[in-house]
Structure 1
Amino acid sequence: MRLLLLACLRAQTGNATTAARIRNHLHAAGHVCVLKDAFMYESPTEIANLTSTDKFDAALAIHLYKGGRLLQGGRIPFGIIFGGTDVNEDIKCEEKRRVMGAVLGEARFAVAFTMKMKELAAAEWVDPLFTSEVKEKVKRAPGVHLLQEMPQDDLHAAMKRCFAVVNSSISEGMSAAILEAMDLDVPVLARNIPGNAAIVKHKETGLLFSNPQEFVVLSKSLMNDPIMEREIVTRAKDYVKKHHSWEGERKAYQNLLLRLQ
Protein backbone atom coordinates (compact mmCIF):
# COMPACT_ATOMS: atom_id res chain seq x y z
CA MET A 1 0.00 0.00 0.00
CA ARG A 2 1.26 3.51 -0.84
CA LEU A 3 0.54 5.84 2.09
CA LEU A 4 0.70 9.57 2.65
CA LEU A 5 1.60 10.69 6.20
CA LEU A 6 0.86 14.35 6.98
CA ALA A 7 2.50 15.91 10.03
CA CYS A 8 4.16 19.10 11.23
CA LEU A 9 7.77 18.26 10.44
CA ARG A 10 9.81 21.05 12.01
CA ALA A 11 13.20 19.46 12.69
CA GLN A 12 13.93 17.80 16.05
CA THR A 13 10.39 18.17 17.42
CA GLY A 14 8.16 15.54 18.98
CA ASN A 15 5.86 15.59 15.95
CA ALA A 16 8.74 14.98 13.55
CA THR A 17 10.20 12.08 15.54
CA THR A 18 6.76 10.52 16.04
CA ALA A 19 6.05 10.75 12.31
CA ALA A 20 9.42 9.21 11.46
CA ARG A 21 8.81 6.38 13.90
CA ILE A 22 5.38 5.62 12.46
CA ARG A 23 6.80 5.69 8.94
CA ASN A 24 9.42 3.12 9.96
CA HIS A 25 6.71 0.88 11.40
CA LEU A 26 4.81 0.98 8.13
CA HIS A 27 7.90 0.42 6.01
CA ALA A 28 8.68 -2.65 8.12
CA ALA A 29 5.27 -4.05 7.16
CA GLY A 30 6.08 -3.68 3.47
CA HIS A 31 4.17 -0.46 2.79
CA VAL A 32 5.50 2.68 1.13
CA CYS A 33 4.98 5.67 3.43
CA VAL A 34 5.73 9.21 2.21
CA LEU A 35 6.11 11.97 4.81
CA LYS A 36 4.81 15.44 3.92
CA ASP A 37 4.86 18.61 6.02
CA ALA A 38 1.30 19.75 6.68
CA PHE A 39 2.48 23.36 6.84
CA MET A 40 3.38 23.20 3.15
CA TYR A 41 -0.29 22.88 2.14
CA GLU A 42 -3.21 25.21 2.60
CA SER A 43 -6.29 23.35 1.38
CA PRO A 44 -7.77 19.87 0.88
CA THR A 45 -7.69 20.55 -2.88
CA GLU A 46 -3.88 20.63 -2.86
CA ILE A 47 -3.73 17.31 -1.04
CA ALA A 48 -6.37 15.81 -3.32
CA ASN A 49 -4.22 16.76 -6.32
CA LEU A 50 -1.15 15.28 -4.64
CA THR A 51 -2.81 11.97 -3.79
CA SER A 52 -4.20 11.67 -7.30
CA THR A 53 -0.95 12.55 -9.09
CA ASP A 54 1.27 10.38 -6.90
CA LYS A 55 -1.32 7.59 -6.70
CA PHE A 56 -1.61 7.20 -2.93
CA ASP A 57 -3.92 4.45 -1.66
CA ALA A 58 -4.59 5.88 1.81
CA ALA A 59 -3.38 8.54 4.25
CA LEU A 60 -2.60 9.23 7.89
CA ALA A 61 -2.38 12.59 9.63
CA ILE A 62 -1.00 13.68 12.99
CA HIS A 63 -3.25 16.36 14.56
CA LEU A 64 -6.90 16.64 13.59
CA TYR A 65 -6.74 20.30 12.68
CA LYS A 66 -3.21 20.83 11.39
CA GLY A 67 -3.14 17.68 9.28
CA GLY A 68 -6.57 16.08 9.27
CA ARG A 69 -8.42 19.05 7.79
CA LEU A 70 -6.32 18.71 4.64
CA LEU A 71 -7.67 15.19 4.05
CA GLN A 72 -11.35 16.11 4.20
CA GLY A 73 -13.43 15.21 1.19
CA GLY A 74 -10.56 13.44 -0.53
CA ARG A 75 -10.72 10.37 -2.73
CA ILE A 76 -8.72 8.13 -0.40
CA PRO A 77 -9.52 6.71 3.08
CA PHE A 78 -7.54 8.05 6.03
CA GLY A 79 -6.85 7.58 9.71
CA ILE A 80 -6.06 10.30 12.24
CA ILE A 81 -3.63 10.51 15.17
CA PHE A 82 -4.44 12.93 17.98
CA GLY A 83 -1.83 15.46 19.08
CA GLY A 84 -1.79 17.24 22.42
CA THR A 85 -2.60 20.55 20.71
CA ASP A 86 -5.90 19.12 19.47
CA VAL A 87 -7.39 18.47 22.89
CA ASN A 88 -5.48 21.07 24.92
CA GLU A 89 -5.52 24.15 22.71
CA ASP A 90 -7.31 23.94 19.33
CA ILE A 91 -10.45 22.65 20.99
CA LYS A 92 -10.89 26.09 22.61
CA CYS A 93 -11.53 27.69 19.20
CA GLU A 94 -15.06 27.18 17.93
CA GLU A 95 -14.09 26.99 14.24
CA LYS A 96 -11.21 24.59 14.85
CA ARG A 97 -13.41 22.44 17.08
CA ARG A 98 -16.01 22.23 14.30
CA VAL A 99 -13.39 21.25 11.73
CA MET A 100 -11.88 18.62 14.02
CA GLY A 101 -15.31 17.10 14.59
CA ALA A 102 -15.84 16.86 10.85
CA VAL A 103 -12.43 15.22 10.41
CA LEU A 104 -13.32 12.59 13.01
CA GLY A 105 -16.54 11.94 11.16
CA GLU A 106 -14.62 11.02 7.99
CA ALA A 107 -11.68 9.17 9.54
CA ARG A 108 -11.65 5.36 9.48
CA PHE A 109 -9.94 5.32 12.88
CA ALA A 110 -8.41 7.70 15.44
CA VAL A 111 -5.40 7.07 17.66
CA ALA A 112 -4.97 8.67 21.11
CA PHE A 113 -1.68 8.21 22.94
CA THR A 114 -3.22 8.24 26.45
CA MET A 115 -6.57 7.37 28.00
CA LYS A 116 -6.91 10.97 29.21
CA MET A 117 -6.57 12.26 25.66
CA LYS A 118 -9.12 9.71 24.47
CA GLU A 119 -11.56 10.74 27.21
CA LEU A 120 -11.22 14.44 26.43
CA ALA A 121 -11.84 13.82 22.74
CA ALA A 122 -14.79 11.54 23.42
CA ALA A 123 -16.36 14.06 25.78
CA GLU A 124 -16.06 16.88 23.27
CA TRP A 125 -17.12 14.88 20.01
CA VAL A 126 -18.10 11.00 19.41
CA ASP A 127 2.56 28.15 19.09
CA PRO A 128 5.06 31.28 18.35
CA LEU A 129 3.70 33.56 21.10
CA PHE A 130 4.24 30.90 23.76
CA THR A 131 7.76 30.25 22.47
CA SER A 132 8.69 33.92 22.75
CA GLU A 133 7.29 34.06 26.29
CA VAL A 134 9.42 31.07 27.31
CA LYS A 135 12.59 32.59 25.84
CA GLU A 136 12.04 35.86 27.69
CA LYS A 137 11.53 34.05 31.00
CA VAL A 138 14.63 31.92 30.47
CA LYS A 139 16.74 35.05 29.96
CA ARG A 140 15.69 36.23 33.42
CA ALA A 141 16.28 32.87 35.13
CA PRO A 142 19.79 32.44 36.59
CA GLY A 143 21.34 29.04 35.94
CA VAL A 144 18.87 28.17 33.16
CA HIS A 145 20.18 27.81 29.61
CA LEU A 146 18.08 27.41 26.47
CA LEU A 147 19.52 25.01 23.90
CA GLN A 148 18.44 24.82 20.27
CA GLU A 149 17.00 21.66 18.78
CA MET A 150 19.48 18.85 18.28
CA PRO A 151 19.53 15.44 16.56
CA GLN A 152 17.96 12.67 18.59
CA ASP A 153 21.21 10.74 19.14
CA ASP A 154 22.91 13.86 20.51
CA LEU A 155 19.91 14.60 22.71
CA HIS A 156 19.93 11.09 24.16
CA ALA A 157 23.65 11.32 24.86
CA ALA A 158 23.09 14.60 26.72
CA MET A 159 20.15 13.17 28.66
CA LYS A 160 22.19 10.19 29.85
CA ARG A 161 24.75 12.57 31.36
CA CYS A 162 22.07 14.40 33.37
CA PHE A 163 20.97 13.63 36.90
CA ALA A 164 17.30 13.98 35.89
CA VAL A 165 15.02 15.17 33.09
CA VAL A 166 12.46 17.84 33.95
CA ASN A 167 9.22 18.37 32.04
CA SER A 168 7.68 21.68 33.08
CA SER A 169 5.11 21.92 30.27
CA ILE A 170 1.73 23.37 31.08
CA SER A 171 0.13 21.40 28.22
CA GLU A 172 1.10 17.92 27.01
CA GLY A 173 -0.46 15.10 25.02
CA MET A 174 2.12 12.38 25.54
CA SER A 175 5.65 13.59 26.21
CA ALA A 176 8.18 11.68 24.11
CA ALA A 177 10.95 13.30 26.20
CA ILE A 178 9.60 11.67 29.37
CA LEU A 179 9.34 8.24 27.76
CA GLU A 180 12.81 8.57 26.27
CA ALA A 181 14.25 9.51 29.68
CA MET A 182 12.56 6.51 31.27
CA ASP A 183 14.00 4.22 28.62
CA LEU A 184 17.46 5.75 29.10
CA ASP A 185 17.41 5.11 32.89
CA VAL A 186 17.19 8.81 33.75
CA PRO A 187 14.82 9.92 36.56
CA VAL A 188 11.94 12.19 35.57
CA LEU A 189 10.44 15.17 37.37
CA ALA A 190 7.31 16.39 35.59
CA ARG A 191 4.66 19.02 36.15
CA ASN A 192 1.47 17.43 37.42
CA ILE A 193 -0.79 17.95 34.40
CA PRO A 194 -3.09 15.31 32.86
CA GLY A 195 -0.78 14.42 29.97
CA ASN A 196 2.20 13.86 32.26
CA ALA A 197 0.26 12.15 35.03
CA ALA A 198 -1.04 9.67 32.46
CA ILE A 199 2.47 8.23 32.03
CA VAL A 200 4.23 9.15 35.31
CA LYS A 201 3.04 7.62 38.58
CA HIS A 202 4.21 9.79 41.46
CA LYS A 203 7.08 8.31 43.47
CA GLU A 204 6.87 5.08 41.47
CA THR A 205 7.98 5.83 37.90
CA GLY A 206 8.88 9.48 38.45
CA LEU A 207 8.05 12.56 40.52
CA LEU A 208 5.19 14.97 39.87
CA PHE A 209 5.24 18.57 41.09
CA SER A 210 2.54 21.23 41.05
CA ASN A 211 4.52 24.37 41.91
CA PRO A 212 8.14 25.60 42.16
CA GLN A 213 8.36 24.96 45.87
CA GLU A 214 7.27 21.36 45.46
CA PHE A 215 9.75 20.93 42.61
CA VAL A 216 12.63 22.05 44.87
CA VAL A 217 11.59 19.70 47.67
CA LEU A 218 11.22 16.70 45.34
CA SER A 219 14.50 17.45 43.56
CA LYS A 220 16.40 17.52 46.85
CA SER A 221 14.76 14.29 48.00
CA LEU A 222 15.78 12.59 44.76
CA MET A 223 19.36 13.85 45.05
CA ASN A 224 19.65 12.68 48.65
CA ASP A 225 18.04 9.26 48.27
CA PRO A 226 19.97 7.03 45.82
CA ILE A 227 17.83 4.02 46.74
CA MET A 228 14.63 5.84 45.73
CA GLU A 229 16.36 6.99 42.55
CA ARG A 230 17.30 3.44 41.55
CA GLU A 231 13.81 2.12 42.32
CA ILE A 232 12.13 4.86 40.27
CA VAL A 233 14.47 4.29 37.33
CA THR A 234 13.90 0.53 37.39
CA ARG A 235 10.11 0.80 37.55
CA ALA A 236 10.06 3.48 34.85
CA LYS A 237 12.12 1.29 32.51
CA ASP A 238 9.74 -1.62 33.09
CA TYR A 239 6.74 0.64 32.45
CA VAL A 240 8.09 1.82 29.09
CA LYS A 241 8.87 -1.73 27.98
CA LYS A 242 5.38 -2.91 28.91
CA HIS A 243 3.24 -0.02 27.68
CA HIS A 244 5.27 1.91 25.08
CA SER A 245 7.46 -0.60 23.31
CA TRP A 246 8.15 0.14 19.65
CA GLU A 247 7.30 -3.46 18.83
CA GLY A 248 3.80 -3.07 20.25
CA GLU A 249 3.32 0.30 18.59
CA ARG A 250 4.47 -1.10 15.24
CA LYS A 251 2.00 -3.97 15.44
CA ALA A 252 -0.85 -1.65 16.39
CA TYR A 253 -0.28 0.67 13.42
CA GLN A 254 0.12 -2.24 11.04
CA ASN A 255 -3.21 -3.65 12.21
CA LEU A 256 -4.92 -0.29 11.91
CA LEU A 257 -3.84 -0.06 8.28
CA LEU A 258 -6.04 -3.04 7.51
CA ARG A 259 -9.04 -0.73 8.07
CA LEU A 260 -7.91 1.46 5.19
CA GLN A 261 -7.91 -1.34 2.64
Structure 2
Amino acid sequence: MQTQLVIAAPHLDVQRGNKITADRIETAAAAAGFQVTAMDTTGKLNADILGAADIVHGFHAFKFYPVLQHMTEGASFIITITGTDINYDLNNSDRHPAVVEVLKKASLIHVFDEYMKQKIPVEFQAKTEVLPQSVPHVKVASAPEPPPFKLLIPAGIRRIKQIPEAVAACAKAREVISELTLTVVGPVLEEAEKTRLDELEAECSWLTIMPSVNQSSMQTLYESHHAVINHSSSEGQSSALLEAMAAARPALVSDIDGNKGVIQHGINGFVFNDQSSFVTALISLQDKKIYQALSDAALETARTRHNPAAEQRMITSWYRKFA
Protein backbone atom coordinates (compact mmCIF):
# COMPACT_ATOMS: atom_id res chain seq x y z
CA MET A 1 0.00 0.00 0.00
CA GLN A 2 1.33 3.44 -0.96
CA THR A 3 2.33 5.89 1.75
CA GLN A 4 -0.10 8.81 1.80
CA LEU A 5 1.75 12.14 1.68
CA VAL A 6 0.17 15.59 1.90
CA ILE A 7 2.26 18.54 0.70
CA ALA A 8 0.88 21.66 2.38
CA ALA A 9 2.22 24.92 0.96
CA PRO A 10 0.92 28.49 0.67
CA HIS A 11 -0.15 30.32 -2.49
CA LEU A 12 -0.25 27.32 -4.80
CA ASP A 13 -2.34 29.38 -7.20
CA VAL A 14 0.51 31.83 -7.89
CA GLN A 15 3.76 31.12 -9.76
CA ARG A 16 6.18 32.02 -6.98
CA GLY A 17 8.90 30.35 -4.92
CA ASN A 18 6.73 28.26 -2.60
CA LYS A 19 4.75 26.80 -5.50
CA ILE A 20 7.88 26.02 -7.53
CA THR A 21 9.42 24.22 -4.55
CA ALA A 22 6.24 22.33 -3.62
CA ASP A 23 5.58 21.28 -7.23
CA ARG A 24 9.13 19.98 -7.61
CA ILE A 25 9.00 17.94 -4.41
CA GLU A 26 5.52 16.63 -5.24
CA THR A 27 6.85 15.33 -8.57
CA ALA A 28 9.90 13.75 -6.93
CA ALA A 29 7.83 12.07 -4.21
CA ALA A 30 5.33 10.68 -6.71
CA ALA A 31 8.20 9.29 -8.80
CA ALA A 32 9.51 7.58 -5.65
CA GLY A 33 6.18 5.80 -5.13
CA PHE A 34 4.29 8.03 -2.70
CA GLN A 35 0.62 8.88 -3.13
CA VAL A 36 0.73 12.67 -3.03
CA THR A 37 -1.99 15.23 -2.38
CA ALA A 38 -1.22 18.95 -2.60
CA MET A 39 -3.03 21.34 -0.24
CA ASP A 40 -2.95 25.14 -0.41
CA THR A 41 -2.51 26.37 3.16
CA THR A 42 -3.84 29.80 2.18
CA GLY A 43 -7.04 28.22 0.84
CA LYS A 44 -9.74 25.99 2.31
CA LEU A 45 -8.28 23.23 4.48
CA ASN A 46 -9.57 19.65 4.44
CA ALA A 47 -9.29 17.88 7.80
CA ASP A 48 -10.28 14.52 6.27
CA ILE A 49 -7.36 14.59 3.84
CA LEU A 50 -4.99 15.54 6.65
CA GLY A 51 -6.41 12.79 8.86
CA ALA A 52 -5.78 10.14 6.20
CA ALA A 53 -2.16 11.21 5.64
CA ASP A 54 0.73 9.06 6.83
CA ILE A 55 3.03 12.08 6.69
CA VAL A 56 2.51 15.79 6.00
CA HIS A 57 5.18 18.07 4.56
CA GLY A 58 4.49 21.72 5.27
CA PHE A 59 6.16 24.81 3.84
CA HIS A 60 6.47 28.12 5.75
CA ALA A 61 6.04 27.67 9.49
CA PHE A 62 3.67 30.57 10.16
CA LYS A 63 1.38 29.77 7.23
CA PHE A 64 1.38 26.10 8.24
CA TYR A 65 0.00 26.89 11.70
CA PRO A 66 -3.69 26.75 10.60
CA VAL A 67 -3.00 23.30 9.10
CA LEU A 68 -1.60 22.14 12.42
CA GLN A 69 -4.89 23.12 14.06
CA HIS A 70 -6.71 20.68 11.74
CA MET A 71 -4.33 17.77 12.34
CA THR A 72 -4.63 14.96 14.86
CA GLU A 73 -2.53 15.56 17.96
CA GLY A 74 0.82 13.82 17.57
CA ALA A 75 0.54 13.36 13.79
CA SER A 76 3.86 13.29 11.95
CA PHE A 77 4.89 16.26 9.86
CA ILE A 78 7.99 17.87 8.41
CA ILE A 79 8.22 21.64 8.15
CA THR A 80 10.37 23.40 5.55
CA ILE A 81 11.46 26.90 6.55
CA THR A 82 11.16 29.10 3.47
CA GLY A 83 12.48 32.53 4.52
CA THR A 84 10.07 35.11 5.92
CA ASP A 85 8.89 32.64 8.57
CA ILE A 86 12.34 32.54 10.17
CA ASN A 87 13.58 36.01 9.14
CA TYR A 88 10.43 37.91 10.12
CA ASP A 89 7.63 35.88 11.70
CA LEU A 90 9.78 34.29 14.41
CA ASN A 91 10.79 37.77 15.60
CA ASN A 92 7.30 39.26 15.36
CA SER A 93 5.58 39.27 18.75
CA ASP A 94 2.19 38.45 17.24
CA ARG A 95 3.42 35.60 15.05
CA HIS A 96 6.19 34.19 17.24
CA PRO A 97 3.94 31.82 19.27
CA ALA A 98 2.51 30.18 16.13
CA VAL A 99 5.96 29.65 14.60
CA VAL A 100 7.33 28.16 17.83
CA GLU A 101 4.33 25.85 18.15
CA VAL A 102 4.97 24.49 14.64
CA LEU A 103 8.69 24.05 15.31
CA LYS A 104 8.00 22.33 18.62
CA LYS A 105 5.58 19.78 17.19
CA ALA A 106 7.41 19.07 13.92
CA SER A 107 9.01 15.66 13.54
CA LEU A 108 11.79 17.31 11.54
CA ILE A 109 12.66 20.89 10.57
CA HIS A 110 14.16 21.39 7.12
CA VAL A 111 16.24 24.47 6.22
CA PHE A 112 18.10 25.27 3.02
CA ASP A 113 21.47 26.33 4.43
CA GLU A 114 23.54 26.72 7.59
CA TYR A 115 22.66 30.43 7.86
CA MET A 116 19.02 29.47 8.31
CA LYS A 117 19.82 26.69 10.78
CA GLN A 118 21.59 29.12 13.08
CA LYS A 119 18.36 31.16 13.30
CA ILE A 120 16.34 28.19 14.54
CA PRO A 121 15.84 28.39 18.34
CA VAL A 122 18.52 26.30 20.04
CA GLU A 123 16.03 23.89 21.60
CA PHE A 124 14.94 22.75 18.13
CA GLN A 125 18.30 22.55 16.39
CA ALA A 126 18.84 18.85 17.13
CA LYS A 127 15.95 17.98 14.81
CA THR A 128 16.89 20.52 12.14
CA GLU A 129 18.40 19.25 8.88
CA VAL A 130 20.14 21.27 6.16
CA LEU A 131 19.29 20.35 2.58
CA PRO A 132 19.68 22.91 -0.24
CA GLN A 133 16.91 23.25 -2.78
CA SER A 134 17.51 21.51 -6.07
CA VAL A 135 17.07 22.87 -9.56
CA PRO A 136 16.38 20.79 -12.69
CA HIS A 137 19.17 20.37 -15.21
CA VAL A 138 18.43 22.24 -18.45
CA LYS A 139 20.12 22.59 -21.79
CA VAL A 140 22.43 25.58 -21.51
CA ALA A 141 22.48 28.22 -24.24
CA SER A 142 25.17 30.87 -24.69
CA ALA A 143 24.34 34.38 -23.54
CA PRO A 144 23.66 36.93 -26.31
CA GLU A 145 26.58 39.10 -27.33
CA PRO A 146 26.27 42.58 -25.74
CA PRO A 147 25.45 45.40 -26.19
CA PRO A 148 23.01 45.95 -24.72
CA PHE A 149 23.88 44.24 -21.46
CA LYS A 150 20.57 42.74 -20.37
CA LEU A 151 19.69 42.22 -16.71
CA LEU A 152 16.71 40.26 -15.38
CA ILE A 153 14.87 40.35 -12.04
CA PRO A 154 12.65 37.26 -11.70
CA ALA A 155 10.59 37.95 -8.56
CA GLY A 156 7.14 38.44 -7.18
CA ILE A 157 6.39 42.16 -7.06
CA ARG A 158 6.33 43.03 -3.36
CA ARG A 159 8.19 45.40 -1.03
CA ILE A 160 10.54 42.79 0.41
CA LYS A 161 12.11 42.27 -3.04
CA GLN A 162 13.24 45.92 -3.18
CA ILE A 163 12.76 46.15 -6.95
CA PRO A 164 12.55 49.98 -7.07
CA GLU A 165 15.93 50.08 -5.32
CA ALA A 166 17.31 47.71 -7.97
CA VAL A 167 15.98 50.02 -10.68
CA ALA A 168 17.73 52.96 -9.01
CA ALA A 169 20.99 50.99 -8.86
CA CYS A 170 20.68 50.13 -12.55
CA ALA A 171 20.05 53.80 -13.35
CA LYS A 172 23.31 54.60 -11.57
CA ALA A 173 25.11 51.85 -13.49
CA ARG A 174 23.84 53.27 -16.78
CA GLU A 175 26.04 56.31 -16.15
CA VAL A 176 28.92 53.94 -16.94
CA ILE A 177 27.21 51.20 -19.01
CA SER A 178 24.88 53.28 -21.15
CA GLU A 179 23.30 50.37 -23.04
CA LEU A 180 22.24 48.42 -19.96
CA THR A 181 18.61 47.25 -19.87
CA LEU A 182 16.51 45.72 -17.09
CA THR A 183 13.51 43.39 -17.28
CA VAL A 184 11.35 42.55 -14.26
CA VAL A 185 9.10 39.50 -14.47
CA GLY A 186 6.81 38.03 -11.82
CA PRO A 187 3.34 38.00 -10.28
CA VAL A 188 1.93 41.11 -8.63
CA LEU A 189 1.71 40.38 -4.92
CA GLU A 190 1.40 43.96 -3.67
CA GLU A 191 -0.46 46.53 -5.75
CA ALA A 192 1.40 49.51 -4.25
CA GLU A 193 4.71 48.11 -5.50
CA LYS A 194 3.26 47.48 -8.96
CA THR A 195 2.05 51.10 -9.10
CA ARG A 196 5.53 52.34 -8.23
CA LEU A 197 7.11 50.11 -10.89
CA ASP A 198 4.62 51.28 -13.50
CA GLU A 199 5.70 54.85 -12.73
CA LEU A 200 9.35 53.91 -13.07
CA GLU A 201 8.71 52.09 -16.36
CA ALA A 202 7.09 55.25 -17.73
CA GLU A 203 10.20 57.23 -16.72
CA CYS A 204 12.84 54.73 -17.90
CA SER A 205 12.91 53.62 -21.55
CA TRP A 206 15.39 50.88 -20.66
CA LEU A 207 13.07 49.24 -18.06
CA THR A 208 10.46 46.59 -18.95
CA ILE A 209 7.91 45.20 -16.48
CA MET A 210 6.43 41.83 -17.50
CA PRO A 211 3.60 39.78 -15.95
CA SER A 212 4.27 36.31 -14.57
CA VAL A 213 5.03 33.61 -17.16
CA ASN A 214 5.11 29.80 -16.97
CA GLN A 215 8.27 27.87 -16.19
CA SER A 216 9.07 26.93 -19.77
CA SER A 217 8.92 30.60 -20.78
CA MET A 218 11.21 31.51 -17.88
CA GLN A 219 13.95 29.40 -19.46
CA THR A 220 13.71 31.54 -22.60
CA LEU A 221 14.04 34.69 -20.49
CA TYR A 222 17.16 33.42 -18.73
CA GLU A 223 18.70 32.58 -22.11
CA SER A 224 17.97 36.04 -23.54
CA HIS A 225 19.59 37.90 -20.61
CA HIS A 226 23.16 38.08 -19.36
CA ALA A 227 22.70 38.09 -15.59
CA VAL A 228 20.05 38.15 -12.86
CA ILE A 229 19.57 40.43 -9.87
CA ASN A 230 18.23 39.57 -6.43
CA HIS A 231 17.90 42.78 -4.39
CA SER A 232 15.76 41.31 -1.58
CA SER A 233 15.93 42.53 1.99
CA SER A 234 15.01 39.02 3.18
CA GLU A 235 15.29 35.68 1.41
CA GLY A 236 15.20 31.98 2.12
CA GLN A 237 16.75 30.36 -0.91
CA SER A 238 15.48 31.79 -4.17
CA SER A 239 14.22 29.23 -6.70
CA ALA A 240 14.57 31.83 -9.44
CA LEU A 241 18.19 32.45 -8.52
CA LEU A 242 18.92 28.72 -8.77
CA GLU A 243 17.11 28.48 -12.11
CA ALA A 244 19.24 31.28 -13.50
CA MET A 245 22.42 29.57 -12.30
CA ALA A 246 21.27 26.29 -13.89
CA ALA A 247 21.01 28.26 -17.13
CA ALA A 248 24.64 29.40 -16.61
CA ARG A 249 23.74 32.97 -15.82
CA PRO A 250 25.70 34.69 -13.03
CA ALA A 251 23.84 36.68 -10.39
CA LEU A 252 24.26 39.97 -8.54
CA VAL A 253 22.67 39.60 -5.12
CA SER A 254 22.10 41.72 -2.02
CA ASP A 255 24.21 41.05 1.06
CA ILE A 256 21.74 38.92 3.06
CA ASP A 257 22.09 35.43 4.48
CA GLY A 258 19.72 33.68 2.07
CA ASN A 259 21.63 34.97 -0.95
CA LYS A 260 25.06 34.31 0.55
CA GLY A 261 24.01 30.71 1.15
CA VAL A 262 24.08 30.32 -2.64
CA ILE A 263 26.43 32.98 -4.04
CA GLN A 264 30.13 33.17 -3.24
CA HIS A 265 31.33 36.66 -4.08
CA GLY A 266 33.61 36.69 -7.10
CA ILE A 267 33.31 32.91 -7.54
CA ASN A 268 29.86 32.14 -8.94
CA GLY A 269 28.36 35.64 -8.80
CA PHE A 270 28.68 38.93 -6.97
CA VAL A 271 27.34 40.09 -3.59
CA PHE A 272 26.70 43.83 -3.24
CA ASN A 273 25.83 45.95 -0.20
CA ASP A 274 25.26 49.37 -1.80
CA GLN A 275 24.92 51.08 -5.17
CA SER A 276 28.66 51.56 -5.47
CA SER A 277 29.47 47.86 -5.08
CA PHE A 278 26.59 46.99 -7.41
CA VAL A 279 28.02 49.21 -10.15
CA THR A 280 31.53 47.83 -9.55
CA ALA A 281 30.20 44.28 -9.94
CA LEU A 282 28.44 45.16 -13.19
CA ILE A 283 31.59 46.73 -14.59
CA SER A 284 33.48 43.53 -13.74
CA LEU A 285 30.88 41.47 -15.62
CA GLN A 286 31.75 43.38 -18.80
CA ASP A 287 35.07 41.54 -18.81
CA LYS A 288 34.50 38.43 -20.95
CA LYS A 289 36.92 36.25 -18.94
CA ILE A 290 35.32 37.19 -15.62
CA TYR A 291 31.83 36.72 -17.04
CA GLN A 292 32.65 33.27 -18.40
CA ALA A 293 34.34 32.16 -15.17
CA LEU A 294 31.32 33.19 -13.08
CA SER A 295 28.92 31.66 -15.58
CA ASP A 296 30.76 28.31 -15.49
CA ALA A 297 30.90 28.34 -11.68
CA ALA A 298 27.20 29.21 -11.39
CA LEU A 299 26.32 26.23 -13.58
CA GLU A 300 28.63 23.94 -11.61
CA THR A 301 27.06 25.04 -8.32
CA ALA A 302 23.57 24.37 -9.63
CA ARG A 303 24.46 20.91 -10.93
CA THR A 304 26.35 19.70 -7.87
CA ARG A 305 25.16 21.37 -4.67
CA HIS A 306 21.56 21.68 -5.92
CA ASN A 307 21.17 18.24 -7.50
CA PRO A 308 17.57 16.94 -7.91
CA ALA A 309 18.49 13.28 -7.33
CA ALA A 310 20.21 14.09 -4.03
CA GLU A 311 17.22 16.13 -2.87
CA GLN A 312 14.81 13.33 -3.79
CA ARG A 313 16.85 10.70 -1.94
CA MET A 314 17.07 12.73 1.25
CA ILE A 315 13.49 13.98 1.41
CA THR A 316 11.94 10.60 0.61
CA SER A 317 14.13 9.02 3.29
CA TRP A 318 12.62 11.49 5.78
CA TYR A 319 9.12 10.56 4.65
CA ARG A 320 9.82 6.85 5.17
CA LYS A 321 11.36 7.49 8.57
CA PHE A 322 8.46 9.52 10.00
CA ALA A 323 5.43 8.07 8.18
Q: TM-score, normalised on structure 1?
A: 0.90
1:72, distance to aligned residue in structure 2 (A) = 4.2
One-letter amino acid of the structure 1 residue matched with residue 308 of structure 2: W
Q: Which SS does the other structure have where 2:62 is aligned?
A: coil
Change (3 A) 1:226 1:124: farther
Partner of 2:88: 89
Which of 64, 67, 80 matches 1:67?
Answer: 64
Distance in 2, matches of 1:161 and 1:24, equals: 28
1:129, distance to aligned residue in structure 2 (A) = 6.9
User: Is 1:29 the equivalent of 2:32?
Assistant: yes
Distance in 2, matches of 1:90 and 1:190, equals: 23
**Structure whose residues are more often strand by fraction:** 2
**Structure whose residues are more often helix by fraction:** 1
Written as runs of structure 1 = structure 2, the 5 A alignment for 1:213-224 is: 213-223=276-286
One-letter amino acid of the structure 2 residue matched with residue 147 of structure 1: M
- 2:50 touches 2:70 (CA, 8 Å); kept in 1? no
User: Is 1:3 the equivalent of 2:14?
Assistant: no
1:125, distance to aligned residue in structure 2 (A) = 5.6
Which of 272, 296, 302 matches 1:209?
Answer: 272
Question: Aligned residues, how many?
Answer: 254
Distance in 2, matches of 1:248 and 1:91, equals: 29
Partner of 2:134: none
- 2:41 touches 2:66 (CA, 8 Å); kept in 1? no
User: Is 1:167 the equivalent of 2:226?
Assistant: no
Distance in 1, matches of 2:194 and 2:50, equals: 39
Partner of 2:54: 57
Distance in 2, matches of 1:128 and 1:105, equals: 32
Q: Which SS does the other structure have where 1:158 is aligned?
A: helix
- 2:157 touches 2:194 (CA, 8 Å); kept in 1? no
Identity %: 26
1:101, distance to aligned residue in structure 2 (A) = 0.9
- 1:71 touches 1:78 (CA, 8 Å); kept in 2? no
- 2:234 touches 2:256 (CA, 8 Å); kept in 1? yes
1:169, distance to aligned residue in structure 2 (A) = 1.2
Q: Which SS does the other structure have where 1:203 is aligned?
A: coil
User: Is 1:138 the equivalent of 2:194?
Assistant: no
Distance in 1, matches of 2:69 and 2:29, equals: 22
Distance in 1, matches of 2:33 and 2:54, equals: 14
The one-character-per-residue Cα deviations of 1:148-179 (angstroms, maximum 9, x if unpaired) are: 11101101111111011111111100011111
Partner of 1:241: 303
One-letter amino acid of the structure 1 residue matched with residue 321 of structure 2: R
Query: Which sections of structure 2, spanning at least 5 residues, go unmatched?
Result: 126-155, 160-189
